[in-house]
Amino acid sequence: MNTSPARGVKPASLEESSVAEYLQATPEFFERHASLLNKLRLPHMRDAGAISLVERQVEVLRERNQLLESKLKDLMEVARANDTLTDRIHRLSQRLIRAKTLGETVNSIETSLREDFDSMNSVLVLFLEEARTLQPAATRFLRPAHIHDTEMKMFESLLQNGKPRCGQIRDAQRDFLFGKDSIEIGSAALTPLGLKGAVGILAIGSSDTARFHPGMSTEFLARIGELIGFALART
């Protein structure tokens, strides 16, 4: 085999980096020299054989296509989930509009969370003075309280932040919200109602420790919190 440099071509110009830079700068090179494509051989990624450059390009395009299809499927699933959630928020809005009194508003919130959102472990902590008048008829869903109560100290950072928070909660918080017999609550979403929680807190619990986690989006929770906060302050 002749290993001497090609006539008229300097050895330095045949360095791999130079060839790579040239091909990168001249992507139409193989259009002018199509016959070279089937002569170039690349090691196969899965065995010791070799495939042509064209075959390798087809394989790369196929892999990219599969990746794009997977991403598109994920985006479609997210879009469907968002559509479903938007529809549920719409039904919640309709219930709140029909409510005329504080008691009706509280009942509407509880019914919507249970029937529209499938949230069977929900608690509404209300700082409104009028909420105390509902105490005799209150279920475990409604928890009248005062923002300066000692128990509220453990929610101080949540109220000051004024934004929903998701994840596992401390035992003391869980016991206050869901009762001391609620050890099955593995994660929760806490949403302040009103400016810095001036109206109260909405807590939604789940037995699934991964159902509510710190990395999840809280945009829809914030919207739900705004709707409920406005409705409660109105009545």
CATH number at residue 129: 3.30.450.40
Residue 89 lies in a domain: no
Residues 6+ apart with CB under 8 A from 193: 199, 200, 201, 202, 225, 228, 229, 232
| Predicted model pTM | 0.68
Residue 37 lies in a domain: no
CA end-to-end span of the chain: 93
Of the pLDDT bands very low, low, confident and very high (cuts 50, 70, 90), residue 8 is low
Give the separation between CA 109 and CA 229, rounded to whole angstroms: 11
Q: What percent of the chain has pLDDT over 90?
A: 53
How many structural domains comprise the chain? 1
Task: Tell which residue, 143, 139, 140, 165, has the closest CA to residue 152.
Answer: 143
pLDDT in tens, 117-175: 999 899 999 999 888 888 655 568 999 999 999 999 999 999 999 999 999 999 999 99
Residue 90 lies in a domain: no
Q: Which domain holds residue 185?
A: 99-234
Residues 6+ apart with CB under 8 A from 148: none
Residue 113 lies in a domain: yes
pLDDT in tens, 176-218: 999 877 778 999 999 999 999 999 999 999 999 999 999 999 9
Q: Could you tell me the sign of the dihedral formed by the alpha carbons of 144, 146, 147, 152, in that order? A: negative
Give the separation between CA 135 and CA 141, rounded to whole angstroms: 11
Helices (H) and strands (E) in the chain, counts: 7, 7
Residue 66 lies in a domain: no
DSSP alpha helix (H) spans, the chain: 16-25, 29-32, 53-98, 102-115, 156-161, 171-178, 219-234
Contact present, 228 and 122 (Cβ < 8 Å): no
Residue 33 lies in a domain: no
Residue 41 lies in a domain: no
Residue 120 lies in a domain: yes
